Structure 1
Amino acid sequence: MNASQAAAAPVTNTGEAFGTSGYRNYVIISLMLLYTLNFIDRILIGVVAQPIIEEFKLQDWQFGLLSGFGFALMYTIMGIPIARLAERMNRVRIIAVSVILWSLMTALCGVAGSFIALLVFRVGVGIGEAGLTPAANSIISDYFPPRSRARAIAIYTMGITLGGVLANGFGGPITEMFSWREAFLALGIPGVFFGLLFLFTVKEPPRGYADPPTTTKVEKASLKETMAELSSKKTFWFNMIAAAFVAFVGYAVSNFQVAFFQRAHDMSIADAATQIAVPLGLAASFGAFATGYLTEKLSGKYPNAVAWLPGWMLIACVPFYWIGFTTDNLGFALAVLLIGATLHYGYLGAQYTICQGVASPRSRATAVAVFLFVVNLIGYGLGPLAMGILSDILMSADLASSQFAAELTSDICKGRAEDLIASLGDAKAQACLTASAEGLRWAMVYIVSIFILTGALYVWICRGLQEDLVAKMN
C-alpha cells in the first residue's frame, strides 16, 4: 500500500497494527527523532541562558519571557488550527513542513542582534513546532492498537528528554568554543534535512485503522462537537490540569538549570551542560521509557496504572529535588537529582495516553491540540517566567539583607562577572553573584514543591478513568 492509497482508504477499524513490525518501528523512531529535534531547538535557549542574559543584561524575568512565553504564545495559538488540518489533510506533509520551518527559525536565532529580534525568531520557532505533536499522536494511534500505544507513545516522548541531552551535549561545548550564536546555527540547520527525509519515507495510515472493530465509526467532528464530546470527560480536564502544572515546573527548572549550576557551583557552561544536564536528561529519558513499559505490563491487572504510577512518582521526586538544589556538594547534588529526574519524567507517556484514550478517533488530534494549548500556555508560557520573577524577587531580598543594601540593586548586578568586578570592585561584585545564585536556588526549591499537588491529582484521576476511556488499555 503506498501513501496515496493509504490516505484515500476509508476508515476501517481493524484493531490490528498498520504495516509490518519493522516499518512501524521505523515510523515511531522517526517520530521520536523529529520530537528530539523539536526539543533540541526548544531547549537550546535554556542551555545558553547565562551568556544571553549577560550579553543583553537581562533580568531573569526577561529571560523567562524570552525562553517561555515568547515561544509558547504562538505555539499554543497555532496548535488547534493546525490540528484541525491534521484531522482532514495529509499528516505526514504537515509534520514535514513544520520541521523545516522551526529549524530555519532556530538558525535565525543565531544571527539576532537584539533582545527583540531574538524574541521574534523564538515566536517563529513556536509556530513551526506547533505542527508536530497533534499530527504525530494521530498517526501513532493509527499505526498502533490500544494495547501497544502506551509503549509507542513512551518511545515518541523520549524525544523530549533526548532533545534535552543533545541540546546540552552539543550546545554547551559549542557555546564555550565559539558563542551561543554558533550553537543555534549548528543545531538548527540539520532539521531541514530530516524534515525532507520524513516526507519521502513515511506513509500516511488510514484513519482509525488500529482502533478496535467495535469502535463507533462517525463523521469528522467540528471543533464545537469535539469540545462537546470532551466536556463530559472529567478525566481529560483533570489530566490536562495536572500535566499543565507538571510542565510549569519542568520548563521552569530546565530553562534555568544550566544557569543555576553556573551561578551556584561556579561551573563553566560546557561543564554544567555536559556533566549535569546531560546525565539528568538521560535519567529523564530512562524514566519516561521505563514507566511506559511498566504501565503496559501492569495495565492488564491494574487498569489505572497509567495514572497512579506516575502520580506517586511525582510525589516521590520532590525531596530528591530539594536536596539536589540546596546541597553544596556537586557530586551528591547530581546523584539525588538523577533519582528525581527519573521519577519526575515518568508522567510523559501517561499524559498523552490518557488524553488519546478518552477521545474518539474523529477528534483525537484536536483533543491533543486543546490539551497542548493549555499545557504549553501554562507550562511553557508561564513556568520560566514565574521562575524568573521569583528568582529576581529573592535576589533582591538577598541584596537588601547584604552590607551593600543601599548601593546594590538587581539591575546594577546584571552583566558578566569580570565586568561587575571592574565596575563595582571585588566585594560588591561577589555580593551580586551570591545574590543571583541564591535567588535562583530558592526559586527552584519552591517551584518543584508543586509536584506534590500534581502527583496527588494523577492519583485522584483513577476514580473516573475507566468510565471515560474509549479504548481500554487491557
Structure 2
Amino acid sequence: MKAADYLPSESQAEEDQYPQRKTAVFACIILFLGYTLAFVDRNIVALLVVPIEHDLGLTDVEMGLLQGTAFAVFYSVFGLPIAWAVDRYNRRNIVTVGVAAWSAMTCLAGLSQGFATFFLARIGVGAGEATILPSATSLIADYFPPEARGRALGFFASGIYFGSAIALIGGGLILHRIEGRQIQIPFLGMEQPWQVVLISAGALGIPLIIATLFMREPIRRHQKNRKSNNYATQVQGLLATLKSNPKALWAHFIGFTAMAFAAYGAIGWLPTILIRQYHWTPGMVGIRLGVAALIAGPAGTYFGGFLADRLEKANRPDGKFLVGALAAICTCIPAIILGTSTHQGVTFIAAVVVIFFTSLVWGVAPAALQEIIHGSVLGRVTAIYTALLNLIALGLAAPSIALLSEWMFGKNNGLGQAIAIIVPCATFIALTAFLSGRRAYTNARQCLDKLQ
C-alpha cells in the first residue's frame, strides 16, 4: 500500500486525515516493541524461580504471588483509570511513562533483597504495563484506516509471543553464559546471575523510551458526543447490556478465564519442574522452552482463528464456543501427562501440546465478545473481562498450584502433581461453561444482529 493510500482527498476535512504511511508504520513498530518488552518483563520471573528462592529464602507460594498475584491485581486496578486517561490525554506520553515505569520496576526487582521489596517492584511492573494495551489500541485506530487496522493490530499483538520467547531464550542465554559467577555492574556492585537477567531486561526499556518520544500523537478520529455520553447514560447502557444476556456473558467470562487459568497454571511452573525434576540448567530451559513457545503459541492461535472462521462459514454461530470446548478437551490429558510423567522428553512434549491447545482461545475470546456486545459498550465490557482474566487466571493460577503442592506434598514439592489436579479441573469448568452456554450465546448473537 502506497503512502498516498493513507491520505484523504482534498474535499475531506482536515480532521478526517490519517498520518502518512511511514509515520503510522513507525508508530506501529514502536508499539509492537513496547508490547514485546512488556511480556519480556512480565514473564522473565518464571525462568528464575529456583535461583531467586535459593538466594532470598522464598517458598513456592511466595514465588507464585510474585509471578502472578502482585502483577495481576495492580494491572487490573490501574487498567480502568489508565483506559479513562487514554480517552482524554496524550497517548504517546502515557506510553512513554508506562515503559519507563515498568522498566525501572523490573530493575528494582533485580535489586530486591527480600519478598516485600520484590512484591512492591512487581506491583510497579503491573501498573506500568497497564498503559500499553489501551494506548496502542487507541493509537492504531487513529494511525490506520479501517482496511489496514487488522494487519496493524495483528502485528502489534504478536508481541505476546515474541516477548515470552525472548524472556526465556535471552534469559537462558545470559544464565548459561554467567552460570555460577557473580557479575560486577557499574554503580551497583557484584550481582547474582538472576539479578543480572532482571536488570538487563529492565535496561532494554531505555532505548525504547527514547524511541517513543519520536512518535507523533495522531488526531482522534472518533470524539464522542459528550452531551449524550454523560456518566448516567454510560452506566445505564452498560448495566442494561450486562442484564440482557447474562448466561451468554457469564459462559464467555467463565469459559475463557478458566482456559487462561489452565494455561498460566501449567506453563508458569514448567521451568521450575524441568530444573528440579530433570536437573536442566536455567539456560537449557530458557532456550528450549522459548523456541517451543515461539512455534507452538502462534501456531495454536492461528489454528484457533482458522477453525472459528471455518465454523462461521459452515453456519455455526456458536463456533467460537466450540473452539473453546475443543481447547478444553485437548488440554486436559496432556496436562495430566505433564504433571505426572517421570521422563523428561514426555514432559516436554506434553508441555508443547498444552501450549498449542491453550493458545487456541487467545484470538477467539475477544472475537466472541464482539459478536454479542454492542459497540457502544464493547470497550467497557472488554475491560471487565480483562480484569477478571488477570485477577483470576494470572493472579491465582500460580499461587493455587503452589499452595496445593505444599499442602499435599510438603514445601517445594509436588508442583507437577498439583498441575495434574488443578489444570484438568479448570478445563472441565471451561468445557461446562462453553457447552452449557452455546444456546444462550447463539441467542445473544441473534439479538445483536437485530439491533444493528
TM range (shorter): 0.7 to 0.9
The match for 1:272 among 264, 269, 285 is 285
The verdict on how the C-alpha distance between 1:297 and 1:26 changes in structure 2, with shifts beyond 3 A counting, is farther
The match for 1:445 among 416, 420, 423 is 420
- Structure 2 distance, partners of 1:472, 1:24, is 34
Residues 86, 365 of structure 1: 8 Å contact kept: no
The match for 2:239 among 228, 233, 238 is 228
Residues 82, 131 of structure 2: 8 Å contact kept: yes
Match of 2:285, as an amino acid? A
1:422-462 CA distances to partner (integer Å, 9 max, x unpaired)? xxxxxxxxxxxxxx2xx111111112211233144345344
**Deviates most, 118-127 or 52-61:** 52-61
- Report SS of the residue matched to 2:158: helix
1:420 matched to which residue of 2?
none
Residues 154, 288 of structure 1: 8 Å contact kept: no
Match of 2:442, as an amino acid? R
2:270 matched to which residue of 1?
257
TM-score using structure 2 length = 0.80
1:84 matched to which residue of 2?
84
The match for 1:454 among 424, 427, 430 is 430
Q: Aligned pairs, how many?
A: 419
1:427 matched to which residue of 2?
none
Q: State the shift of 1:69 in Å.
A: 1.3
Residues 314, 451 of structure 1: 8 Å contact kept: yes
Structure number with the bigger relative contact order (C-alpha 8 A, sep ≥ 6) is: 1
Give yes or no for the alignment of 1:244 onto 2:248.
Answer: no
The verdict on how the C-alpha distance between 1:9 and 1:123 changes in structure 2, with shifts beyond 3 A counting, is farther
The verdict on how the C-alpha distance between 1:253 and 1:97 changes in structure 2, with shifts beyond 3 A counting, is same
Matches within 5 A, 1:9-408: 28-140=28-140, 154-176=154-176, 177=178, 179-201=193-215, 204=218, 206-208=220-222, 219-220=228-229, 222=231, 224-225=235-236, 227-231=238-242, 232-234=244-246, 235-296=248-309, 299-302=312-315, 303-396=317-410
Match of 1:129, as an amino acid? E
1:157-179 CA distances to partner (integer Å, 9 max, x unpaired)? 33223222111101123234251
1:425 matched to which residue of 2?
none
Q: State the shift of 1:377 in Å.
A: 0.9
- Structure 2 distance, partners of 1:22, 1:291, is 32
Identity %: 25
Q: State the shift of 1:26 in Å.
A: 5.6
TM-score using structure 1 length = 0.77
The verdict on how the C-alpha distance between 1:197 and 1:229 changes in structure 2, with shifts beyond 3 A counting, is farther
- Structure 2 distance, partners of 1:74, 1:26, is 30
- Structure 1 distance, partners of 2:407, 2:146, is 47
1:312-349 CA distances to partner (integer Å, 9 max, x unpaired)? 12321221222233222322332333232112111111
In structure 2, list runs of 5 or more residues that go unmatched. Answer: 1-5, 8-12, 182-192
- Structure 2 distance, partners of 1:465, 1:26, is 39
- Report SS of the residue matched to 2:442: coil
The verdict on how the C-alpha distance between 1:366 and 1:89 changes in structure 2, with shifts beyond 3 A counting, is farther
The verdict on how the C-alpha distance between 1:271 and 1:468 changes in structure 2, with shifts beyond 3 A counting, is farther
Residues 334, 353 of structure 2: 8 Å contact kept: yes
Tell me how large the CA RMSD over aligned residues is.
3.6
The match for 1:466 among 436, 440, 445 is 445
